[in-house]
């Protein structure tokens, strides 16, 4: 190693002027195959208040479990037009909402499949570094054996799994930065 990674700094309160051009709240257009889901939730601080100046970024595989990336060499089809990237700012009350498709399984350690999941970065004023978490899907049999879920203490694992919402395609998932119900964050 010759160099050391640059120190992270907060996005601050005014990031929207630089980041809004790439907001993507609908990750998958109508032509993209897969089970469509709408995810709704809130980013909450240590007092349970909504965080109005947070932004989430989502990265995921397609419905076949393939990432659009040169290092995913699995023999699975890529879908043209699916960028698999979301950038979702919170609103005044800390709420957010995005639409995507449920990804397929991707390989994990020891060749074992991982349960379907999204990887998520959280940025806001007050965070000197991004937080990294994952969102899993409710009712998936594979959740039980998923390696990353298993790394989290059993009592906090549910923070990584979305809850079923009003209809079959609606999911609810909050990001709790601190305190009761604090979301599991990963050293990534």
Partner 1 sequence: MDREKSIGAPSRSNPGKIVGYRRAAPGTQPHYLHPPYVSSHKRSPREPLIFLPHTLSEITGPAFGKEMVDVKACDLTRQHKGEPLGERIIVSGRVTDEDARAVAHTLVEIWQANAAGRYLHKNDQHNAPLDPNFAGCGHTLTDAEGRYRFVTIRPGAYPWKNHANAWRPAHIHFSLFGPAFATRLVTQMYFPGDALLPLDPIFNCTADESARQRLISLFDWENTIPEEALGFRFDIVLSGRDETPWEKR
Per CB under 8 A, the list member of 148, 161, 162, 171 interacting with partner 1 is 148
Asked if 6 touches partner 1 (CB under 8 A), the answer is yes
CA dist., res. 27 & res. 47, Å (int): 31
CB of 107 to partner 1, least distance (A): 5
Q: Toward partner 1, which CB reaches closer, 164 or 181?
A: 181
Within 35-94, the residues that bind partner 1 by CB under 8 A are 45-47, 49, 51, 53, 57, 59, 61, 67-69, 71-75, 83-85
By CB under 8 A, which span of 28-36, 94-102, 124-132, 135-143 interacts with partner 1?
Answer: 124-132
Tokens of 121: 């970065």
Q: Toward partner 1, which CB reaches closer, 9 or 167?
A: 9
CA-based nearest residue to 148, from 176, 182, 120, 181: 120
Tokens of 5: 């990674």
CA dist., res. 33 & res. 151, Å (int): 31
CB of 11 to partner 1, least distance (A): 5
Q: Toward partner 1, which CB reaches closer, 77 or 147?
A: 147
Residue 54 burial (C-beta neighbours within 10 Å; 0-12, 13-18, 19+): buried
CA dist., res. 67 & res. 59, Å (int): 9
Asked if 105 touches partner 1 (CB under 8 A), the answer is no
CB of 100 to partner 1, least distance (A): 13
DSSP at 71: T
């Amino acid at each position: 190693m010759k160099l050391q990674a640059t120190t992270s700094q907060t996005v601050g309160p005014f990031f929207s002027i630089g980041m809004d051009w790439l907001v993507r709240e609908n990750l998958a257009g109508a032509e993209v195959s897969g089970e469509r889901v709408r995810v709704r939730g809130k980013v909450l601080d240590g007092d349970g208040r909504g965080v109005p100046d947070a932004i989430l970024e989502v990265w995921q595989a397609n419905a076949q479990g393939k990432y659009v990336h040169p290092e995913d060499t699995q023999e699975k089809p890529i879908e043209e037009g699916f960028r698999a990237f979301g950038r979702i700012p919170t609103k005044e009350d800390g709420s957010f909402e995005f639409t995507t498709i449920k990804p397929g399984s991707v390989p994990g350690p020891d060749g074992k499949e991982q349960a379907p999941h999204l990887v998520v970065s959280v940025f806001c004023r007050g965070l000197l570094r991004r937080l990294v978490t994952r969102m899993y899907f409710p009712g998936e049999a594979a959740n039980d054996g998923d390696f990353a879920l298993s790394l989290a203490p059993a009592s906090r694992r549910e923070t990584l799994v979305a809850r079923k919402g009003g209809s079959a395609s609606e999911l609810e998932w909050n990001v709790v930065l601190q305190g009761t119900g604090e979301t599991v964050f990963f050293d990534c």
